Homo-oligomer: A and B are copies of this chain.
């Protein structure tokens, strides 16, 4: 008997919980050489901006222990070219397209939402809040609950009512629950976490930063414990909210870890660079693990690690916020 792998982003049904992570599958065309994109729960696009963007100078990537830093800088074609080419081709291929958007001001996010509002084939909008707010000295939206809420409220008001708005959060904040709550209060239908925390690496031979941009986003297995913690805290505080989990998922076990913490869908980023088939492999492994554990439905595993502990004294969870 197979496991019912369906999951929901608000009212939108996905055939399974595995999606590509924003910015990790380019236009989708590259992956579609390897397999049928319709087999994924969804394809999350790169973050689309109004104008085309050339991104950051190279080197744009550096490897770190069990992780990598990137400073791609949202290189992309801009929303018009996206709407003319990338999006229709995803739809033609039968992919569920979740469109990620990025802006430098509330007005820009809103303008993007307006351009996307009538576009056919947008299953959901993911709002990448890890962008510097040009109206606030470049402070990143995701680090400020009020600014995040403002963006979400405006995008929500602009998008068609039947397209869920997903707020994508970053872990390098003092209180992820506060940001999550602000986004939900602002009208977000779901959350996605985690975006890459800001990291840096210095080449000890050249004695200069390894990335041309200096700092970059840290991704890969190294950050999975941060992702699990953010999912855990937010799911505990907002148990009804659908959350797309991501951060260092390389195997079905990793995906299950995020699901047990509270994710109802799981995005795969860095693993795709290692293995074009990563999403399908992870999906298969996840289904097997659920089967082994006797689950009939994926939905029954979501957040399961939060259930009141059994009799065993091993399992007293004490949720103090300090790491010591």
Chain A residues within 8 Å of B, Cβ to Cβ: 23, 47, 56-57, 59, 64-67, 69, 71-74, 102, 128, 130-132, 138-140, 143-144, 170-175, 195-202, 204, 207-209, 212-218, 220-226, 228-229, 232, 248, 253, 256-257, 260-261, 289, 293, 301, 304-305, 309, 313-324
Contact = CB atoms under 8 A, between A and B. Distances in A.
Report which residue of A47, A195, A213 has the largest number of chain B beta carbons within 10 angstroms of its beta carbon.
A213
B65 A222 contact: yes
A167 to B, nearest CB: 15
A321 B260 contact: no
Given A196-B324, A317-B209, A324-B130, A232 B204 contact: no
A261 B200 contact: yes
Nearest to A251: B204
Contact of A260 (B69, B204, B289, B309): B204
B320 A217 contact: no
Contact of A316 (B128, B212, B218, B261): B212
Contacts of A140: 321-322
A48 to B, nearest CB: 13
Contact of A289 (B173, B197, B204, B319): B204
18 contacts: A65-B221, A65-B224, A66-B67, A66-B222, A130-B323, A143-B174, A172-B173, A173-B173, A173-B174, A174-B174, A199-B229, A202-B261, A214-B317, A214-B319, A215-B321, A216-B323, A218-B323, A222-B222
Contacts of A170: 323
